[in-house]
Structure 1
Amino acid sequence: MDEATARERVVSTADRLFYTRGVQAVGMDAVRTESGVSLKRIYGLFPSKDDLVLAVLRHRTERWNAGIAGALAGAGTPRERLLAVFDFLAGWFREDDFRGCAFINVFGELGGGSDRVAEAVREQKASFRRHVAELVREAGGPDHLAPQLVLLAEGAQTTAAISGDPGTAAHARAAADTLIRCALGDAGDAEGTTEA
């Protein structure tokens, strides 16, 4: 097995184990057993568990970005593009293995003890905020709309994980639609973008 394949196998295995059981509950031996990659090789690829956690978070970031991009690709109007974020959440919340936001989960476990992990989580959240802010700008919306929509999306993830109710995404989408309508009026229904 070449290095890229071994790395991919270890990261995908660790991602699944960390997400379902928690980072602290999963030892490197479990990653070795499940991935089929020797412990020596794992430590050659990831010198510490934090290094592996960071690789998992990068993997999660790529999956999140691809999911959001896929949802946005099917949206036409600026309002639909803003609401597509919540449509993505609705699909994700219905997945059998949904356990909430991996970034929030990892931050809750390790954020106080690992500056590197805390920074990686903060950067992912900041990247999402920037993305939503760009969508709001494209729609001609006010700056204050973006953090409001982000709070709805983040809160929906946590609420859905705790309650086990995938319908949380629909509630968040309805609230987002209300905020968008108040902020944009009819402008958000127009095709293309509106200049602020």
Structure 2
Amino acid sequence: MPSTDPRVDAYIDGKPAFARPILQHLRAAVHRACPGVEETLRWSMPSFTYKGQILCQMAAFKSHATFGFWRGKEVSGEDESRSAMGQFGRLTSIADLPSDAELDALIGKAVALIDSGMKARRPVKHPKPELTMPADLAEALSASPAAQATYDAFPPSCRRDYLEWVVEAKRPETRAKRVAQAVEWMAEGKRRNWKYEKC
């Protein structure tokens, strides 16, 4: 017996008339192609999980519905450069979906990816370049050896936090206050977001 969630029933029932058959069709297809799937709501939309990992999701809006695989590019081989989230664009009827056989094959491929244990590919993150020290902050730091020592000992991300905070000030008065506050905190050995750090 499929593992269903009554919240998904309520979600489907609350959507426009055109969307309900699309969502019901997709839900049935996922359960047919992956009997071990479980339903839940994530980010306020129906989500299907398999072995604790998100397999796919569906949603409906005022004039269209969407369906997509969590590892979409690996499943469909296409970039998600469509006019709506998911791999099938804006769905307005069941006819906008691939055939049942194609849909089953795609769901099977998504299941196989999870079964393989292979982690999703993540884009390589390149480190951000160092920001240039603003003259006003440099001057204030040079007047406080303790703050300068703290700043120099910070990793690049902590330096960037302070530099961005000062540079993003829109008014000169705000910027001056931020420079003074930054120097005070750094003189005490504090990071920019020290209030949120766990002790």
Interval containing the TM-score (normalised by the shorter chain): under 0.3
TM-score, normalization by structure 2:
0.24
Say which structure, 1 or 2, has more relative contact order (CA 8 Å, 6+ apart). 1
Task: Identify the structure with the greater strand proportion.
Answer: 2
Task: Identify the structure with the greater helix proportion.
Answer: 1
